[in-house]
Amino acid sequence: MTEQSSEPSADAMFDKALEIAEKHLKKAVEEGGELGPYVAVAMIEAAVNTAVDETSHEDVVDMLRDLASQIEEDAENEEED
């Protein structure tokens, strides 16, 4: 019998991190009022800069490529519907 780790999976940790980020983004966009769309884009830049500081340029580029692929796939799926 193999032992199962009680640690959450990478997907579960990312989902939790996304939940936290979305909560704070929503508040920041609301606070920005008319600047809301700019705040959202500025938060992307700030997040990328922080991610590079926390990991590496290569890791961030890989994650952004994955995200871009997901966005393109979602757009294609919406066009088909």
DSSP string, 37-81: HHHHHHHHHHHHHHHHHHS-HHHHHHHHHHHHHHHHHHHHHHHH-
59-78 confidence digits (pLDDT tens)? 999 999 999 999 999 999 99
Domain membership of residue 5 (yes or no) is no
pTM exceeding the 0.85 threshold for the entire prediction? no
Range of the domain at 55: 10-80
Total count of domains within the chain: 1
14-65 confidence digits (pLDDT tens)? 899 999 999 999 999 999 999 999 999 999 999 999 999 999 999 999 999 9
pLDDT at 1 over 50: no
